């Protein structure tokens, strides 16, 4: 059974940059992402081959060190072969950080996004859609 989209989940922890020297830390982050994804996937899932869009919202517990774009690669790798066959299927990525003290009003946040905003930090909200153009048409 393929995952039902959109798919949302939260990864607790600080994303690790692909540029980081420690291979173990990079592998641990990918495993953390995969573990969080498994919690919302159906039993015995089949990875989809459809084109996808990914939204990543990072909520750090302090001002973020490093660049926001550095959290993308290993996060996508952590979902590869679990949610999708290959990260080449990802047609759009939206990534944004929401540091403490900066007030942002979301128009209609999902239950999962709301839990991420008010819950434990640091946390990464992940949303995967099988409609890569949904925001373009909105």
- Of 18, 52, 13, nearest to 34 by C-alpha is 13
Average pLDDT, the chain: 93
Q: In this structure, is residue 2 part of a structural domain?
A: no
Instruction: Give the span between the Cα atoms of 114 and 100, in whole angstroms.
Output: 15
Q: In this structure, is residue 85 part of a structural domain?
A: yes
Q: In this structure, is residue 113 part of a structural domain?
A: yes
Model pLDDT for residues 21-47, shown as the tens digit of each residue: 778 999 999 999 999 999 999 888 899
pLDDT at 18: 83
pLDDT at 76: 98
How many structural domains is the chain composed of?
1
Tell me the residue range of the domain where 120 lies.
7-137
Model pLDDT for residues 85-122, shown as the tens digit of each residue: 999 999 999 999 999 988 788 899 999 999 999 999 99
**What value does the mean pLDDT take over residues 52-74?**
94
Is the pLDDT at 83 greater than 60? The verdict is yes
Is the pLDDT at 133 greater than 60? The verdict is yes
Q: In this structure, is residue 69 part of a structural domain?
A: yes
Q: In this structure, is residue 28 part of a structural domain?
A: yes
CA angle 37, 64, 126 (to 5 degrees): 20
- When computed from its CA atoms, the radius of gyration of the chain, rounded to whole angstroms, is 14
Q: In this structure, is residue 103 part of a structural domain?
A: yes
pLDDT at 44: 81
pLDDT at 104: 85
Chain center to CA of 130:
14
**What value does the mean pLDDT take over residues 68-91?**
95
Q: In this structure, is residue 1 part of a structural domain?
A: no
CATH number of the domain where residue 77 is located:
3.30.1330.70
> What pairing do the DSSP bridges indicate for beta strands 52-59 and 7-12?
unpaired
Q: In this structure, is residue 124 part of a structural domain?
A: yes
DSSP conformational letter for 13: S
């Amino acid at each position: 059974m393929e995952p039902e989209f959109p798919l949302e989940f939260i990864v607790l922890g600080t994303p690790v940059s692909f540029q980081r020297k420690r291979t173990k830390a990079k592998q641990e982050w990918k495993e953390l992402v995969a573990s969080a994804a498994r919690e919302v996937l159906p039993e015995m899932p089949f990875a989809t081959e459809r084109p996808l869009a990914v939204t990543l919202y990072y909520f750090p517990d302090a001002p973020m060190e490093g660049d926001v774009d550095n959290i993308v690669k290993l996060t996508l790798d952590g979902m590869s072969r679990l949610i999708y066959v290959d990260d080449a299927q990802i047609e759009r990525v939206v990534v944004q950080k929401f540091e403490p003290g900066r007030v942002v009003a979301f128009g209609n946040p999902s239950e999962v996004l709301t839990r991420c905003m008010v819950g434990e930090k640091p946390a990464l909200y992940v949303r995967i859609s099988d409609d890569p153009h949904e925001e373009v048409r909105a």
